[in-house]
Amino acid sequence: MNYFVEGIQGAGKSTLVGRLAEHFPKYRVYREGDYNPVELAWCAYLTETQYESVLAKYDSLREEIVANTHTEGERKVVTYTRIITDVPGFHKDLEQYEIYNDRLSRSEFEEIILGRYGRWDGDNSIFECSMFQNIVENQILFYEMNDEEIVDFFLRLKAVLAGRDFRILYLEADDIAGSLQVIRKERVDQNGAEMWFPLMVGFLEESPHGAKCGLRGFDGLVKHLEHRMAVEKRILREVFSEQAVILKSKQYDLNAALEL
């Protein structure tokens, strides 16, 4: 069996992943930013030429870059957020090689995601937000896909997973605004200044969908996440009804959920 833990920001995904890891100590856990067989969030996806250029530009980090590089055919996947450095511009530079945020055409993006899921042959794995969060955010905010188009994509994704054993544990947040207020206070720097919230709001406001729909500030973020959760729950109903388990955020019995 494999488990995909999903839900909007602040729903408690990291906590649930930790509990699953304790429950299944022999399972492989994939958290955001890890090298992941099915998803590429927080990873640079480079051609050989691009990779050699990065190594030459950041020669002082060569050893760490190589240590965080995974070869996939003619591509190099670099888990660059795992590299802790104060070298100016490094993380921003590597970010441009991610596959999200309209850096690829929709067809190229879909081909990569479907291809990775199709080639995945592992078992006994736990994935943190590897199926919905980054993919659906990209589809809504940058490709401006409607709900039907997104559901259609996940029908195709399910088709490539035919025969695989997996469950999607989805954390449903009853109070999105309240959850956001909690993580705003939690994700701060050592001086108490907010770190996550300004970045998230800026990301939303600068996206094509956010700008077009006038999604701004806290209220805009709540509205967007309400929509995203509605889309994801529709995907669970219409595509993954046999694999999905919907849990109330922070109010669930894990043992009971695993028996469903």
- Least Cα distance to 179 among 140, 137, 216, 221 occurs for 221
Task: Check residue 84 and report its DSSP letter.
Answer: -
74 and 159 fall within a common domain: no
Q: Which domain holds residue 251?
A: 2-37+104-259
Give the tens place of pLDDT for each residue, 22-34: 999 999 999 988 9
User: Total structural domains in the chain?
Assistant: 2
Tell me the mean pLDDT in the region 227-249: 96
Out of 77, 97, 117, pick the residue that ends a domain.
Answer: 97
Task: State the Cα torsion 247-248-251-253 to the nearest 10°.
Answer: -20
20 and 148 fall within a common domain: yes
151 and 185 fall within a common domain: yes
pLDDT band at 260 (very low <50, low <70, confident <90, very high): confident
pTM metric for this prediction: 0.94
55 and 182 fall within a common domain: no
Pairing type for strands 125-128 and 28-30 reads parallel
19 and 83 fall within a common domain: no
89 and 110 fall within a common domain: no
28 and 50 fall within a common domain: no
pLDDT of residue 257: 84
Query: What is the sign, positive or negative, of the torsion defined by CA atoms of 20, 124, 170, 224?
Result: positive
128 and 81 fall within a common domain: no
Q: What is the DSSP string of 8-23?
A: STTSSHHHHHHHHHHH
Structure tokens at 126: 């736990």
118 and 158 fall within a common domain: yes
Give the tens place of pLDDT for each residue, 78-128: 999 999 999 999 999 999 999 999 999 999 999 999 999 999 988 999 999
Give the tens place of pLDDT for each residue, 133-173: 999 999 999 999 999 999 999 999 999 999 999 999 999 99
